[in-house]
Structure 1
Amino acid sequence: MANSERGEASIRIGARDCLLRPSYAALLAAEDELGPLFALVERASQGGLKLAEMNALFWHCLAKRDDIPRERLGEAIAAMGLAEATKPLRVLLGQILKGGG
């Protein structure tokens, strides 16, 4: 499903795997909400990324939101635990630094 070569990742929300795709439009929307993405990457590298920021970044990068409320995404992140949620986060942050979303 997710192609890491394209900077994609996946996250399990309920019973389905959902694609996280950091497209240009998604990253612009995330930046509008979260501020400069480079600062977000810095906070993450220093362990200062908030759960709400992770939720917002994942939300904007969801390829298909369909009927998924944002709160449900947050619940999925909390259920998987921060260690597991870090895996797709690393992919997205790497794509932000690398560019080409």
Structure 2
Amino acid sequence: MANPARGEASLRVGGVSLVLRPSFAALVAAEEEVGPLFALVERAADGRLGLSEMVALFWHCLRERPEGLTREAFGEGVAAGGLATATPALKLLLGQILAGR
């Protein structure tokens, strides 16, 4: 289960509940892939955040990856779940980025 006190978010992908934790190491890895996190937050606020960017952020923030889960399958699962399912987790992670927790 996600612990909101630690800035964690839950995300269901392929019927499995996953926990996203925006740790320093996870955010650094995401930033190396998608560029500066503040720019990512700005793109999200402007409605210009790409699906690949969102999946990259989620992938790097996964607290634990289920055995056998590939990045491609994870991305397909996020897309299949729809933006409405992913938005609460994205909102929480972006809030954590801005808050600096």
Q: Same fold (TM over 0.5)?
A: yes
Across the aligned residues of Structure 1 and Structure 2, the Cα RMSD in angstroms comes to 1.0
SS, match of residue 12 in structure 1: strand
| Segment drifting more, 10-19 vs 42-51 | 10-19
Shift of 1:18: 0.9
Conserved in 2, the CA contact under 8 Å of 1:8 and 1:22? yes
Aligned: 1:5 with 2:5? yes
Unaligned runs of 5+ in 2: none
Match of 2:70 in 1: 69
| AA partner of residue 74 (structure 2) | L
Moved over 3 A (4+): none
The equivalent of 2:84 in structure 1 is 83
> Which position in structure 1 is the counterpart of 2:56?
56
May I ask how many residue pairs the two structures share in their alignment?
A: 100
Q: CA deviation at 1:64?
A: 1.0
- SS of corresponding position for 2:68: coil
Q: Give the match for residue 33 of structure 2.
A: 33
TM-score by length of 1: 0.93
TM-score, length of structure 2 as denominator length:
0.93
Q: Deviations over 1:41-94 (max 9, x none)?
A: 000001000000000000000011232101111111111111221110001000
Report the 3-state secondary structure (helix = DSSP H, G, I; strand = E; otherwise coil) of the residue aligned with 1:91: helix
Asked if 1:96 is matched to 2:97, the reply is yes
Cα distance in 1 for residues equivalent to 2:56 and 2:89: 13
Q: Quick one: distance in 1 between partners of 2:24 and 2:68?
A: 23
Percentage identity across paired residues of the two chains: 63
Letter in structure 2 aligned against 1:82 = L
| Equivalent-residue separation in structure 2 for 1:38 and 1:70 (angstroms) | 24
Structure 1 residue 4, shift from structure 2 partner: 1.8
